Amino acid sequence: MTDIAEIPVDEEERPLPPLPRPVRSALTDGPILRTLLGLAWPNVVALSAGTCVVIAETSYIGRLGVEALAAMALVFPTVILTMTMSGGAMGGAVASAIARALGAGDRERAGTLAAHALLIGITFGVVFMLGMLIFGPQVLTMLGGRGTVLTHAIAYTQVFFGGAVLPWLLNTMAGVLRGTGNMKLPSLLMLNSAVMQVVLGGTLGLGLGPVPQFGMRGVAAGSLIAYSVNICVMGWYLFSGRARAVPKLRGLRIQWAMFFDILKVGAIACFSPLQSVLTISIFTHMLAKFGTAILAGYGIGARLEFLLTSIAFSFGIASVPMIGMAVGAGRIRRARRIAWIAGASAFVAVGAPACLVALFPDLWVNIFTDSATVRATSHQYLSTVAPFYAFIGLASTMYFSSQGAAKVIGPVLAQTARLIYIATTGWWLSTHDATAQNFFWLAASSMVVLGLLSCSSVVLTRWGPRETKPAVRSVLSVAD
């Protein structure tokens, strides 16, 4: 056997050491549940604070008189529609587009998307401003506003929607930050906004010391001032380069593809809050024929639904950047796992307290009324419907998860199906002498329908790119 001598190798020609592994991100590589909970808890705090603002505003507006309280109830649907469209629908679409760009490793595109998102927010804000300033009185009259109530409602509308660009700009900026995975700053500013709204709205609305009482105009102005302060803080953070997506406005060239990337999700998603408000309006109108006590009992139960839905929103909003980055990186299996874990978490987080209230309704009802008739109706409604609130939580997370994947049409169609189900079945019940309990079961079953259809849409919708089959080439074998 012949020994083979080792060939000498120059030290400078030795193989280079292996490249260091890329830095792993918790959003793209971390454990899903722990990362999701870490992103969700700031949103829970902030959205709960927003609910407290609604309660506080109701309290001090009541001191302006019954007419002012009725006026606030009159404008509430339009205000909620503005906030849910700018924050949940379009804001979620912005977060999705930013997250998908970052997931693909394209920070340049993320910055360009952020700039186009701000233009979209300003445009929609101007549309809402002009729409409500021009047609607001007619809309409020159609909703039932009359006399002094209508006067108060118009006063609030003129101030709040006169500055409609502010909530749209604020929620758009929050969407940009959430798309980068930054949940803490938007949530902190939402908490700050809640405190400022209560203090400024109460001071300007009721008057304090040298500050005169501005009534409903003052309440609306307090909200706009709070939004302005938070826009300044969030704008400084975004444009100072501290965010992972820096909007590039100087020398910006309008790119319609960027608008399309956001609007293909946001424009469709806006139908969801619109349909939700319409569903609630139809159901409330059907219950109104049973009298004030039934309507008041339903209202108490609906407040609990509103509060618990904010928990589901927190999980849903947290899932958007995680799913968006996974989809952008082509990791579709991980994106779907995030969606199901977020849905299961929201189902439990909403369902557990709802079932507790269903078993012990006085824990919630005692906060609002001591009327025996209203209490009995509230008990009846909560024991029937509250156990099914978990399906609302499930549907909410499927909606936001689909936003992250830029495939939102399925959950929106699920909301459409619920609207049709409520309208048609409710009409049938109304023509067959149904009781209020029958309508309560209608509400409960519609939640199950919405939850199951939303899940089905996620199962049936392709999240990844379409597979292209390679072209088949025929090979002819020719014998020599």
pLDDT digits (tens, 9 = 90+) for 404-417: 999 999 999 999 99
Give 95-139 as a DSSP string.
HHHHHHHHHTT-HHHHHHHHHHHHHHHHHHHHHHHHHHHHHHHHH
Q: What is the pLDDT of residue 475?
A: 44
Query: In Å, what is the CA distance from 188 to each residue of 39, 182, 339, 349, 367?
Result: 13, 11, 25, 22, 28
Distance CA 478, CA 385 (A): 75
| 387 in Cβ contact with 354 (< 8 Å) | yes
Q: What is the pLDDT of residue 347?
A: 96
Least confident residue range of 298-307, 335-344, 430-439: 298-307
User: Using 50, 70 and 90 to split pLDDT, how confident is the model at 3?
Assistant: low
pLDDT digits (tens, 9 = 90+) for 96-131: 999 999 998 899 999 999 999 999 999 999 999 999
Q: What is the pLDDT of residue 6?
A: 54
Task: Look up tokens 């930054």; give the residue.
Answer: 182
**Composition of the chain by helix, strand, coil, percent to 5:** 80, 0, 20
Q: What is the pLDDT of residue 58?
A: 66
User: Using 50, 70 and 90 to split pLDDT, how confident is the model at 287?
Assistant: confident
Q: How many CB atoms lie within 10 A of CB 473?
A: 5
Task: Look up tokens 């977060």; give the residue.
Answer: 95
pTM above 0.85, yes or no: no
Share of the chain above pLDDT 70, in %: 90
Mean pLDDT of 18-29: 59
Considering Cα of 459, then 461, then 464, then 468, what sign does the dihedral take? Answer: positive
Mean pLDDT of 272-289: 84
Q: What is the pLDDT of residue 92?
A: 92
pLDDT digits (tens, 9 = 90+) for 157-183: 999 999 999 999 999 999 999 999 899
